[in-house]
Copies of this chain bind each other. A is one copy, B any other.
Amino acid sequence: MIQLPFPLILASQSPRRRQLLSQIGLDFSVLPADIDEDVVSLALPPQEYVRELSQRKALYIREEIGGAKAIILGADTIVVIDGRILNKPTDPEHAFTMLKQLSNRMHEVFTGITIVESHTGKIKSEVQRTEVYFRELQDEEIRQYIASGSPMDKAGAYGIQEDYGAVFVSKINGCYYNVVGLPLEKLYGMLK
């Protein structure tokens, strides 16, 4: 579908992002960027927060690989509700609080993506926003979902593509794949 002039490197260890890149037929390797997310202030506007983190991830890998020719993709996804950024939960109790907060409400999901051409330093960043509506969740459902262990590595403590995630979400407004972790249609346009 899409031919890139240089090898593609995904600067993320998210299994969802790997799966999405494969889905659109791209060959790539994975080099997770080991950056400290706390250095970026949660007080930033969400668009700037995810843009900044996606850039840092991509540029970290650019340093790592030296002058090798490659296209590096960095991405960061967050959930925003009541003007506050929800990142990954720190423990099961934190996940419970997050999911209770999302219950019966609309929230926003932002993903920042950055593409860097490593040997030239050419860089491009974009941000995608999707509105997600949760139906009312029962405490028992939330507890069962947390017991599955799945919420712990996900921003906002849920995965829309999973068993529970799929039946929590009544509707979305925007790009679905943005909520999974990579806005495929936008990424495709950027890579073209």
Contact = CB atoms under 8 A, between A and B. Distances in A.
A135 interface: yes
Interface string A132-166: 00010000010010000000000000001011101
B174 A1 contact: no
Contacts of A141: 1
A166 B173 contact: no
Please tell me the size bucket of the interface on A: 20 to 34
A166 B130 CA distance: 15
Given A135-B185, A169-B185, A25 B163 contact: yes
A25 to B, nearest CB: 5
Contacts of A170: 175, 185-186
B172 A185 contact: no
Contacts of A173: 171-173
B135 A166 contact: no
Contact of A176 (B23, B172, B184): B172
A168 interface: yes
A43 to B, nearest CB: 29
A85 B184 CA distance: 27
Contacts of A4: none
Interface in A20-47: 20, 23-25
B188 A177 contact: no
Contacts of A1: 141, 144, 163-164, 167
Interface of A: 1, 20, 23-25, 130, 135, 141, 144, 160, 162-164, 166-177, 184-186, 188-189
The 3 residue pairs across chains A and B that have the minimum distance between CB atoms: A167-B188, A176-B176, A166-B184
